Amino acid sequence: MRMTSQREIILKELQDSHQHLSADELYERVKKIMPRISLATVYRNLETLSEAGIIGKLEISGRQKRFDFDIHPHDHIYCLQCHRVDNIDFDRNLVNPAEVASDKGYQITGYRVEFKGICSACRRNQKKREDGDKK
């Protein structure tokens, strides 16, 4: 795969963000550097980079795809209110995928654990609203 200037900028913006960005969010960042780039080009390059194993692609809870610069095995937590996605430290030794799927006849090639919940910022906002309603 040829590393074009567009791909380099997309990769740099994804890495610099330290977040799990959607293609739309990444497009907003990249177009500040390359004003003539199209959303379709960003999508196409993200898919190409993902297929090449250079970045990770997250498809969390049927939401919009997000992209991750960190391709090492790790797990995520997803806020049900604001849709933020964060990495989460989880002891993967607690799960034996081969044992879980052995009765179904699958050969496991990989897995991911996805946690869902309400992030601390959304919980604070919810508490403020509740406290405001009590007055």
Every domain range in the chain assigned CATH 1.10.10.10: 1-71
Q: Which structure tokens are listed for 52?
A: 């090449």
- pLDDT, tens digit (0-9, with 9 covering 90-100), for 77-127: 989 999 889 999 888 888 888 777 777 888 888 788 889 999 999 999 999
CATH 3.40.640.10 fits 1-71, yes or no: no
Task: Return the CATH fold of 73-135.
Answer: Dna Ligase; domain 1 (3.30.1490)
pLDDT band of 29, cuts 50, 70, 90: very high
Structural contact between residues 45 and 26, judged by C-beta atoms closer than 8 angstroms: no
Is the model's pLDDT at 133 over the cut of 80? no
Query: So what's the pLDDT on residue 62?
Result: 66
* pLDDT confidence bin for 64, thresholds 50/70/90: confident
75, 91, 117 from 94: Cα distances, Å: 13, 6, 20
* Residue 76, beta-bridge partner list: 87, 114
Q: Largest Cα–Cα distance of the chain, in whole Å?
A: 61
Q: Extract the runs of DSSP E, i.e. beta strands, from 31-97.
A: 56-58, 66-68, 75-79, 85-88
- Which residues make up the CATH 3.30.1490.190 domain(s) of the chain? 73-135
